[in-house]
Amino acid sequence: MIANLRNYEPETIEFVVPDSIREKFPPVLFQGSTNVDELIKLVNEHFNATFPESEVTQRLLDEFEISEIREEYCIKQENEVPKRERELLEAIERAKKIKSDAQDRLASIKTEIKDLAAEVKKGTREYHLSSKNTIRFALDGYFLYYSWVNGEFKLVKAEKIPDWDKRSLWAQEDRNRKAMLDLFGIEYPEVERPIDDTEDYGDKFEEDLSDKLPEEEPEDDE
C-alpha cells in the first residue's frame, strides 16, 4: 500500500543514468572512501564544481515499492471503481447535478489508478539530492552530478552542455579534465580553447575595407 512507502527508501539506491553515460564517466568517485566532508574538501581543491540547490534526479523503484504500488491500484480497481459506478447510477435517478458529481469522482479514481500504473511502468521515482553533498562540474561536453549516497560519491545525473554555454566553460572543463587525470588516472580529450570572434571580425573588416579603396593611378613620367 502507498501508506507503507511514506519515508521509505531502498537500502541500495540505483539511479537512472544511461548506459552510454555510465561507460563514459565513472559511476563512483573516490571509491572506498567514507568521509564525505574530506571528499568535499578534496573536490573543492581540485575541481571547479558547484553545489546545486534543490536538484532532482530519478532513481529506480525496488521490488517492494513496485509490489506496494500494484497492491494499491488493484485494491482501488476492485473496491473503489464499482462503488463509484453504483453511486453514478443512483445519482442519475436523483438529479443531473448529483450525476455530474459522481462522474467526476469516477474520473478522479481512474486517473489515480492510471497514474499509479504509469509509475510502475516507468519504473522510476524522483530523488531529491542533498545540496550539501551534491556537486556539479563540467567535463567532456557534459554537466556531471555526483552525490554522496549509500556511503559513496555516485554519478546520479548527466546533462549535455548547451552549445551556447561551452565558450564560457572552457577553463572549468580544462581544469576538471586535469583533475580526473591526476586523481583517478582517467584521461579525457583536451578542450579546444575558444577563438575570440572579435579577432575574426577585425580581420574581415580590414579585408573588406581594402577591397573597397580605389586603386592608386600611376604617375605620368614627364
> Helix, strand, or coil here: 56?
strand
| Mean pLDDT confidence for 15-41 | 91
Residue predicted with more confidence, 197 or 162 = 162
Question: Residue 170's pLDDT is what?
Answer: 78
pLDDT digits (tens, 9 = 90+) for 40-93: 999 999 999 999 999 999 999 999 989 999 998 899 888 989 998 888 888 888
| C-beta of residue 127 within 8 angstroms of C-beta of residue 57 | yes
Percent of the chain at pLDDT above 70? 87
Q: How confident is the model at residue 32 (pLDDT cuts 50, 70, 90)?
A: confident
User: How far, CA to CA in Å, does 194 sit from each of 33, 164, 191, 202, 205?
Assistant: 37, 12, 9, 17, 21
In whole numbers, what is the pLDDT of the chain averaged over residues?
85
Q: How confident is the model at residue 138 (pLDDT cuts 50, 70, 90)?
A: very high
Q: How confident is the model at residue 177 (pLDDT cuts 50, 70, 90)?
A: very high
The answer to whether residue 107 scores a pLDDT higher than 90 is yes
Q: How far apart are CA 167 and CA 165, in angstroms?
A: 6
